[in-house]
Structure 1
Amino acid sequence: MHRSAARFIERIRRSRAYATLLPTSITRWVRTVAWLSVVVNIGIVGTGGLVRLTGSGMGCETWPYCTADSLIPTPELGIHGLIEFGNRTLTGVLVVVAALAFLSVLRLQPRRPDLVRLSFAIGVGIIVQAVVGGVTVWLHLHPSIVGFHFLLSAALVVLATVFAHRVYAGQGPRESGVSRGYAGLAWATAASVAVTVAIGVLLTGSGPHAGDEAAARNGLDPILWQHIHAWPGYLTFALSVLLMAGAFRTSPSLDLRRWVGILLAVEFVQIAVGLWQARTGLPIVLVNIHMVLAVALVAAMTAVLLHLERRVVAQDVAPEPSPVEASAR
């Protein structure tokens, strides 16, 4: 973490104004905020998708203002201006949740620098995401920057998932709780998820939902890339089935059966929605669900990887006998 950021965090931590307000242990409030961070970072993809799918990407013609003379949409912009401005406004909700997450772990005892860094990174990432959103508007929804905008959201979902996991898992040294082969299978599945999502971004950039009638497309053949997108999707599902089979041979304390089960459930619904939307002309509702499921898939896969490890439990060591006890023997 940059020195200036570290000094800023330390200044807030030592502030007496917050001493009686911030929790000093992992409470229900801290856990709730951690889960909320995951939910809102997934949810913003749904509202962002709605902007694109309704052709409202240029509903506000500039950024950060909606028009050259108005911060908020004017009546002339119609429903598209309201949809685009509504999505921008929800970014403020993400900032508030990120701030609450940061403050909720700032004064924990013993200190949790991992949670502080993660929550701070999420907040910075949301601000960067807002700037990228502005660049997207300035570049009139170029498919490359729109795709990067989505991938940045996926990265924030990963950070929020790691944050929530560590709130529950606690701190201290950790070790692998699975065999090397099972860990390799899990990481291969994660790589397949990453490829599936990346190709999905390229496919979206070639399809009809550009966010605006004048927005450019990337020139790829959408029919061909639908099939290319499906191949790693099916591979991911097959690898996840193997993960589930192997999960029954892992320690129940890792809770891998539950999380791999959630991963499989998300994949099953994602595949079903993908096939349905492809055969019905890409209706807006199904495409939006497909987008949200994509980042939910990323969150589930991240959770599976995090549960491959367990905390190291120190062995109880018998104390050395005292000289009195030794002589008595």
Structure 2
Amino acid sequence: MKSSALLASRPVRWCGDKLRGLALASLIANIGIIVTGAAVRLTASGLGCPTWPRCTDESYTTTPEMGINGAIEFGNRLLTFVLIAIAVLCFLGALARRRRSLIVLTVAIGLGIPGQGVIGGITVLTNLNPWVVGLHFILSVGLIAWAFALWRRVDQGDGEPITLVPAPIRQLALVNVAVSFAVIAAGVVVTGSGPHSGDHGAKRNGLDPDRLSQLHADLVFLLIGLTVALWFALRAVDAPPAAVKAAATLFWVEMAQGLIGFVQYFTHLPVALVAAHMLGSGLVWTATLAVLWSLRTRPVVPAPATPAPEEIPVSA
């Protein structure tokens, strides 16, 4: 009875009606926190709060003595609660829709956000170990994928997926996703070898940044080539216009991201361009997922019809 009353309550029904917008807010927030995390690292504020879960040994919040670095780091921590609030609203919306697929996605997002906070705490406790910092970013990539899936599934049904293009085209799109992830992972390793460590005393991973940058650039060229091939293949098989448009969008996002990457490298990594490149990584990943999701759909499964009650003959 209590669960039925909860689902029937006005706030929960509102969440169900607004679930698509809430899912989009979750996606935008999870991309945005990449930028705020970049601000922490690029302003050398990674140890602005030198411990975790407290900001200092005596306080959960920043103190005036900690200055701007403490405020930046603590502000980034507070954004976690914004993400949690959005995740809770999405979960209530999924409950209102009574769809298991949506509930599973909202639970994954809801568990991933505090998990992200714990990894963030470990980065502080390990004095910004570059490999832990990299794992922190990779989990953000996963959260973006889940948030994007939630946003797209809201308007789809729970029937068996229908592929809108030939199987080899979808396989090419899956390879594109794998290479896109490899580009991001390589970029994370490059960052761990570069100068923006998050704190002036933080260690680097000890790898050669020039060689890593070359590997990263090679993967970018591969990704762009695969995207162009996918774009032309979709046009050749007369794929749905949305799929062709998604591939074209991905190409131009990649080109913009590549331009920022090359300029930042040859201008010795200015802070503004590095921040833009971090945002671009989230946008490239999202655009990559958009192509994959445009290649199939799921029909709405009609609810089983309720049989009409049998008429009882009235005796004379």
Q: TM-score, normalised by structure 1?
A: 0.87
Q: Matched residues in 1 for 2:2 and 2:281: separation?
A: 36
Query: Displacement of 1:172 after TM fit?
Result: 1.4
Query: Displacement of 1:169 after TM fit?
Result: 2.1
SS at match of 1:39: helix
Name the residue aligned to 2:96.
Answer: 107
Structure-2 change in CA distance of 1:116 and 1:167 (3 Å): same
SS at match of 1:219: coil
Name the residue aligned to 1:75.
Answer: 64
Pick one of 233, 238, 243 that aligns with 2:230: 243
Q: Give 1:139-154 correspondences, 5 Å limit.
A: 139-154=126-141
Structure-2 change in CA distance of 1:31 and 1:300 (3 Å): same
CA contact (8 A) 1:63 1:138 kept: yes
Name the residue aligned to 2:54.
Answer: 65
Q: Give 1:111-260 correspondences, 5 Å limit.
A: 111-250=98-237, 253=240, 255-260=242-247
Name the residue aligned to 2:13.
Answer: 23
| Poorly superposed stretches of 4+, deviation over 4 Å | 250-254
Query: Displacement of 1:170 after TM fit?
Result: 2.6
Q: Which amino acid aligns with 1:20?
A: R
Query: Displacement of 1:17 after TM fit?
Result: 7.6
Structure-2 change in CA distance of 1:67 and 1:24 (3 Å): closer
Q: Which amino acid aligns with 2:253?
A: V
Note the alpha carbon deviations across 1:16-52, whole angstroms, 9 max, x for none.
485333238963x221111111100000000001000
CA contact (8 A) 2:156 2:300 kept: no
CA contact (8 A) 2:164 2:239 kept: no
Pick one of 276, 279, 289 that aligns with 1:289: 276
Note the alpha carbon deviations across 1:82-117, whole angstroms, 9 max, x for none.
000010011111011111111112121xx3100011
Structure-2 change in CA distance of 1:25 and 1:311 (3 Å): farther
CA contact (8 A) 1:129 1:149 kept: yes
CA contact (8 A) 2:156 2:299 kept: no
Name the residue aligned to 1:92.
Answer: 81
Name the residue aligned to 2:26.
Answer: 37
Question: Structure 1 vs Structure 2: percent identity of aligned residues?
Answer: 40
Query: Displacement of 1:12 after TM fit?
Result: 7.5
CA contact (8 A) 1:57 1:84 kept: yes
CA contact (8 A) 1:254 1:310 kept: no
Structure-2 change in CA distance of 1:312 and 1:107 (3 Å): closer
Q: Matched residues in 1 for 2:38 and 2:92: separation?
A: 30
SS at match of 1:248: helix
Structure-2 change in CA distance of 1:204 and 1:13 (3 Å): farther
CA contact (8 A) 2:16 2:92 kept: no
Aligned-pair RMSD on alpha carbons? Answer: 1.9
Q: Matched residues in 1 for 2:169 and 2:58: separation?
A: 58
- Please, which runs of 5 or more residues in structure 1 have no aligned partner? 1-10, 315-329
Q: Which amino acid aligns with 1:94?
A: L
Q: Matched residues in 2 for 1:219 and 1:291: separation?
A: 22
Q: Matched residues in 1 for 2:38 and 2:2: separation?
A: 36
Query: Displacement of 1:311 after TM fit?
Result: 3.2
Pick one of 282, 285, 290 that aligns with 1:298: 285
CA contact (8 A) 1:178 1:308 kept: yes
1:14 aligned to 2:1?
no
Q: Matched residues in 1 for 2:231 and 2:2: separation?
A: 44
SS at match of 1:22: helix
